[in-house]
Amino acid sequence: MTSSDLDIALLEQALSGSVIGHRIHYHDTLGSTMDETRRLAEAGSDEGTVVIAEEQTAGRGRFNRAWISPRGQNLSFSVLLRPTPAQLPFMNMAATLAVARTVAEVAGLSATIKWPNDVRVGGLKISGILIETAIEETTVNHAVVGIGLNVNFDPSKYEEIAGISTSLYRETSRMHNRTQVLLRLLGHFDELYASVRRGESLVRVWESQLDTLGKSVRLAWHETVVEGRAEAVDEQGNLILRLADGSTFTATAGEVTSQV
Protein backbone atom coordinates (compact mmCIF):
# COMPACT_ATOMS: atom_id res chain seq x y z
CA MET A 1 0.00 0.00 0.00
CA THR A 2 1.25 3.45 -0.90
CA SER A 3 -0.29 6.75 0.15
CA SER A 4 -0.94 9.53 -2.34
CA ASP A 5 2.32 11.37 -1.73
CA LEU A 6 4.59 8.51 -0.63
CA ASP A 7 5.81 6.59 -3.67
CA ILE A 8 7.83 3.62 -2.44
CA ALA A 9 8.59 2.26 -5.92
CA LEU A 10 10.05 5.62 -6.97
CA LEU A 11 12.16 5.78 -3.81
CA GLU A 12 13.56 2.28 -4.24
CA GLN A 13 14.36 2.96 -7.88
CA ALA A 14 16.08 6.26 -7.12
CA LEU A 15 18.05 4.70 -4.26
CA SER A 16 18.80 1.37 -5.94
CA GLY A 17 22.53 2.13 -6.04
CA SER A 18 22.65 3.26 -2.42
CA VAL A 19 23.19 1.34 0.77
CA ILE A 20 20.45 3.18 2.65
CA GLY A 21 17.01 2.97 1.08
CA HIS A 22 17.56 0.35 -1.64
CA ARG A 23 14.95 -1.77 0.15
CA ILE A 24 11.94 -0.15 1.83
CA HIS A 25 9.23 -1.92 3.85
CA TYR A 26 6.08 0.23 3.90
CA HIS A 27 3.34 -0.25 6.50
CA ASP A 28 0.05 1.57 6.89
CA THR A 29 -0.07 0.71 10.58
CA LEU A 30 2.70 -0.78 12.69
CA GLY A 31 3.41 -1.08 16.37
CA SER A 32 6.91 0.38 16.05
CA THR A 33 9.29 0.75 13.12
CA MET A 34 12.15 0.25 15.60
CA ASP A 35 10.82 -3.14 16.69
CA GLU A 36 10.10 -4.27 13.13
CA THR A 37 13.54 -3.21 11.92
CA ARG A 38 15.16 -5.09 14.78
CA ARG A 39 13.17 -8.17 13.81
CA LEU A 40 14.36 -7.85 10.21
CA ALA A 41 17.94 -7.37 11.40
CA GLU A 42 17.82 -10.56 13.44
CA ALA A 43 16.38 -12.36 10.40
CA GLY A 44 19.38 -11.30 8.32
CA SER A 45 17.98 -8.40 6.26
CA ASP A 46 20.39 -6.29 4.25
CA GLU A 47 22.10 -3.26 5.71
CA GLY A 48 20.31 -0.10 4.65
CA THR A 49 16.83 -1.61 4.83
CA VAL A 50 14.24 1.02 5.76
CA VAL A 51 10.95 0.43 7.58
CA ILE A 52 8.39 3.21 7.34
CA ALA A 53 4.89 3.44 8.82
CA GLU A 54 2.05 5.89 8.33
CA GLU A 55 0.90 5.21 11.86
CA GLN A 56 2.68 3.66 14.83
CA THR A 57 0.55 2.35 17.66
CA ALA A 58 3.57 2.03 19.97
CA GLY A 59 6.00 4.56 18.50
CA ARG A 60 8.57 5.88 20.93
CA GLY A 61 11.24 8.49 21.26
CA ARG A 62 14.14 8.82 23.67
CA PHE A 63 13.50 7.65 27.25
CA ASN A 64 10.47 5.71 25.89
CA ARG A 65 8.47 8.89 25.41
CA ALA A 66 5.49 8.69 23.06
CA TRP A 67 6.08 10.25 19.65
CA ILE A 68 3.06 12.24 18.42
CA SER A 69 2.59 11.83 14.68
CA PRO A 70 -0.86 11.82 13.05
CA ARG A 71 -1.14 9.20 10.29
CA GLY A 72 -0.04 10.17 6.80
CA GLN A 73 1.31 13.61 7.70
CA ASN A 74 4.92 13.12 8.78
CA LEU A 75 7.82 10.74 8.25
CA SER A 76 8.42 8.01 10.81
CA PHE A 77 10.92 5.36 9.82
CA SER A 78 13.85 3.25 10.96
CA VAL A 79 17.05 2.24 9.17
CA LEU A 80 19.02 -0.97 9.67
CA LEU A 81 22.79 -0.46 9.79
CA ARG A 82 25.68 -2.76 10.60
CA PRO A 83 28.54 -0.44 11.65
CA THR A 84 31.79 -1.44 13.29
CA PRO A 85 32.30 -0.44 16.94
CA ALA A 86 34.53 2.44 15.79
CA GLN A 87 31.81 3.72 13.43
CA LEU A 88 28.98 3.46 15.94
CA PRO A 89 29.39 6.93 17.55
CA PHE A 90 28.93 8.55 14.14
CA MET A 91 25.49 7.03 13.43
CA ASN A 92 23.72 9.72 15.42
CA MET A 93 25.82 12.43 13.81
CA ALA A 94 25.08 11.15 10.32
CA ALA A 95 21.34 10.97 11.02
CA THR A 96 21.01 14.43 12.57
CA LEU A 97 23.15 16.05 9.89
CA ALA A 98 21.10 14.33 7.17
CA VAL A 99 17.90 15.75 8.64
CA ALA A 100 19.36 19.25 9.03
CA ARG A 101 20.56 19.27 5.42
CA THR A 102 17.21 18.02 4.19
CA VAL A 103 15.30 20.70 6.09
CA ALA A 104 17.58 23.35 4.57
CA GLU A 105 17.16 22.00 1.04
CA VAL A 106 13.42 21.36 0.89
CA ALA A 107 12.26 24.30 2.97
CA GLY A 108 15.10 26.83 3.00
CA LEU A 109 15.22 26.66 6.79
CA SER A 110 18.29 26.91 8.97
CA ALA A 111 18.35 23.92 11.32
CA THR A 112 20.48 23.36 14.39
CA ILE A 113 21.12 20.29 16.52
CA LYS A 114 20.41 20.12 20.23
CA TRP A 115 22.82 17.66 21.80
CA PRO A 116 22.63 14.79 21.38
CA ASN A 117 19.95 14.11 18.76
CA ASP A 118 17.16 16.65 18.32
CA VAL A 119 17.04 18.77 15.17
CA ARG A 120 15.49 22.19 15.72
CA VAL A 121 14.33 25.20 13.75
CA GLY A 122 14.12 28.46 15.65
CA GLY A 123 14.62 26.58 18.90
CA LEU A 124 11.65 24.29 18.24
CA LYS A 125 12.01 20.55 17.68
CA ILE A 126 11.31 19.41 14.13
CA SER A 127 12.93 15.98 14.30
CA GLY A 128 14.10 13.42 16.81
CA ILE A 129 16.53 10.53 16.43
CA LEU A 130 16.56 7.28 18.39
CA ILE A 131 19.33 4.67 18.13
CA GLU A 132 19.18 1.16 19.53
CA THR A 133 22.06 -1.28 19.14
CA ALA A 134 22.65 -4.99 19.55
CA ILE A 135 26.21 -5.54 20.75
CA GLU A 136 27.77 -8.90 21.57
CA GLU A 137 31.15 -8.64 23.29
CA THR A 138 33.18 -6.49 20.84
CA THR A 139 30.90 -6.96 17.83
CA VAL A 140 28.02 -4.72 16.75
CA ASN A 141 25.42 -7.10 15.38
CA HIS A 142 23.29 -4.21 14.16
CA ALA A 143 22.14 -0.69 14.89
CA VAL A 144 18.63 0.59 14.30
CA VAL A 145 18.35 4.33 13.65
CA GLY A 146 14.85 5.69 14.10
CA ILE A 147 13.99 9.08 12.61
CA GLY A 148 10.84 11.12 13.07
CA LEU A 149 10.49 14.29 10.97
CA ASN A 150 7.51 16.61 11.31
CA VAL A 151 6.42 17.42 7.77
CA ASN A 152 2.77 18.32 7.15
CA PHE A 153 1.11 18.52 10.54
CA ASP A 154 0.67 21.50 12.84
CA PRO A 155 2.08 20.84 16.33
CA SER A 156 0.29 23.94 17.65
CA LYS A 157 -2.92 21.89 17.67
CA TYR A 158 -1.46 19.51 20.26
CA GLU A 159 -1.23 21.12 23.68
CA GLU A 160 1.51 18.85 25.00
CA ILE A 161 3.96 19.82 22.23
CA ALA A 162 2.63 23.15 20.97
CA GLY A 163 5.32 25.23 22.63
CA ILE A 164 8.28 22.97 21.90
CA SER A 165 7.76 21.52 18.40
CA THR A 166 7.42 22.70 14.82
CA SER A 167 7.13 21.21 11.32
CA LEU A 168 8.00 22.02 7.72
CA TYR A 169 4.38 23.04 7.21
CA ARG A 170 4.29 25.28 10.27
CA GLU A 171 7.50 27.02 9.24
CA THR A 172 6.69 27.50 5.54
CA SER A 173 2.86 27.62 5.49
CA ARG A 174 2.80 25.07 2.67
CA MET A 175 2.46 21.33 2.32
CA HIS A 176 5.49 19.28 1.28
CA ASN A 177 5.67 16.13 -0.84
CA ARG A 178 6.87 13.45 1.53
CA THR A 179 8.39 11.32 -1.22
CA GLN A 180 10.74 14.13 -2.16
CA VAL A 181 11.54 14.93 1.46
CA LEU A 182 12.32 11.29 2.22
CA LEU A 183 14.38 10.90 -0.94
CA ARG A 184 16.59 13.83 0.07
CA LEU A 185 16.87 12.61 3.64
CA LEU A 186 17.85 9.03 2.77
CA GLY A 187 20.24 10.34 0.11
CA HIS A 188 22.04 12.57 2.60
CA PHE A 189 22.10 9.82 5.20
CA ASP A 190 23.64 7.43 2.67
CA GLU A 191 26.33 9.96 1.70
CA LEU A 192 27.23 10.66 5.32
CA TYR A 193 27.28 6.97 6.23
CA ALA A 194 29.54 6.31 3.24
CA SER A 195 32.02 8.89 4.53
CA VAL A 196 31.98 7.19 7.94
CA ARG A 197 32.67 3.81 6.32
CA ARG A 198 35.65 5.41 4.55
CA GLY A 199 37.07 6.22 7.98
CA GLU A 200 36.17 9.91 8.04
CA SER A 201 35.05 11.69 11.20
CA LEU A 202 31.86 13.77 11.31
CA VAL A 203 32.65 15.38 14.66
CA ARG A 204 33.76 18.82 13.49
CA VAL A 205 30.91 19.42 11.03
CA TRP A 206 28.41 18.04 13.57
CA GLU A 207 29.87 20.23 16.31
CA SER A 208 29.48 23.30 14.10
CA GLN A 209 25.70 22.80 14.02
CA LEU A 210 25.18 22.16 17.73
CA ASP A 211 23.18 24.94 19.38
CA THR A 212 24.01 23.60 22.85
CA LEU A 213 27.64 24.72 22.93
CA GLY A 214 28.54 27.91 24.74
CA LYS A 215 25.45 27.77 26.94
CA SER A 216 24.96 27.15 30.63
CA VAL A 217 23.02 23.92 30.83
CA ARG A 218 21.48 21.46 33.23
CA LEU A 219 22.07 17.83 32.32
CA ALA A 220 19.94 15.06 33.79
CA TRP A 221 20.76 11.38 33.38
CA HIS A 222 19.00 8.78 35.54
CA GLU A 223 19.56 10.02 39.11
CA THR A 224 22.43 12.35 38.21
CA VAL A 225 22.04 16.08 37.62
CA VAL A 226 25.01 18.20 36.53
CA GLU A 227 25.12 21.93 35.81
CA GLY A 228 27.83 23.67 33.84
CA ARG A 229 28.82 25.37 30.62
CA ALA A 230 28.69 23.22 27.48
CA GLU A 231 32.18 23.73 26.05
CA ALA A 232 32.73 21.12 23.34
CA VAL A 233 32.17 17.55 22.21
CA ASP A 234 34.86 14.89 22.07
CA GLU A 235 35.60 12.50 19.20
CA GLN A 236 32.82 10.18 20.36
CA GLY A 237 30.25 12.96 20.38
CA ASN A 238 30.13 13.13 24.19
CA LEU A 239 29.35 16.53 25.68
CA ILE A 240 32.05 18.21 27.76
CA LEU A 241 30.78 20.48 30.52
CA ARG A 242 32.87 23.00 32.46
CA LEU A 243 31.67 22.97 36.06
CA ALA A 244 31.63 25.88 38.50
CA ASP A 245 34.76 24.63 40.25
CA GLY A 246 36.69 24.61 36.98
CA SER A 247 36.67 20.86 36.51
CA THR A 248 35.12 19.14 33.50
CA PHE A 249 32.40 16.53 33.23
CA THR A 250 31.95 14.34 30.15
CA ALA A 251 28.37 13.31 29.43
CA THR A 252 27.77 10.26 27.27
CA ALA A 253 23.98 10.70 27.32
CA GLY A 254 21.26 12.65 29.07
CA GLU A 255 18.62 15.35 28.77
CA VAL A 256 19.98 18.88 28.38
CA THR A 257 18.09 22.06 29.20
CA SER A 258 19.48 25.57 28.83
CA GLN A 259 19.69 27.83 31.85
CA VAL A 260 19.22 31.57 31.75
User: Over the stretch 151-201, which tens digit does the pLDDT of each residue have?
Assistant: 999 998 988 888 999 999 999 999 999 999 999 999 999 999 999 999 999
Residues 193 and 159 in one domain: yes
Cβ-based burial of 47 (10 A; exposed 0-12, middle 13-18, buried ≥19):
middle
Q: Which domain holds residue 161?
A: 8-207
Q: Identify whether the C-beta of residue 259 lies closer than 8 Å to the C-beta of residue 227.
A: yes
Residue 2 lies in a domain: no
Q: What would you measure as the largest C-alpha separation in the chain, in angstroms? A: 59
Residues 224 and 249 in one domain: yes
Q: What is the pLDDT of residues 220-229, one digit of tens each?
A: 988 889 999 9
Residue 1 lies in a domain: no
One-letter amino acid for residue 135 of the chain? I
Residues 27 and 75 in one domain: yes
Distance (Å) of CA 9 to CA 25, 30, 47, 190: 11, 20, 19, 18
pLDDT surpassing 90 at residue 2: no
Residues 148 and 60 in one domain: yes
Total structural domains within the chain = 2
Residues 146 and 76 in one domain: yes
Residues 89 and 149 in one domain: yes
124: left (phi over 0), alpha (psi -120 to 50) or beta: beta
Q: What is the pLDDT of residues 97-148, one digit of tens each?
A: 999 999 999 999 999 999 999 999 999 999 999 999 999 888 999 999 999 9
Q: What is the CATH number of the domain that holds 140?
A: 3.30.930.10
Residues 43 and 146 in one domain: yes
Residues 231 and 113 in one domain: no
User: What is the overall mean pLDDT for the chain?
Assistant: 93
Supply angle C-alpha 89, 94, 100, rounded to 5: 135
Residue 183 lies in a domain: yes
Nearest to 183 by CA among 5, 55, 7, 11: 11
Residues 171 and 227 in one domain: no
Final residue of a domain: which of 207, 234, 250?
A: 207
Residues 203 and 220 in one domain: no
Neighbours of 65 (CB within 10 A): 11
Residues 234 and 195 in one domain: no
Residues 143 and 57 in one domain: yes
Torsion of CA 213, 218, 222, 223, to 10 degrees: 150
For the ranges 36-40, 61-65, 82-86, 241-245, the lowest mean pLDDT is seen at 61-65
Average pLDDT over residues 194-213: 97
pTM of the model: 0.93
Cβ-based burial of 44 (10 A; exposed 0-12, middle 13-18, buried ≥19):
exposed
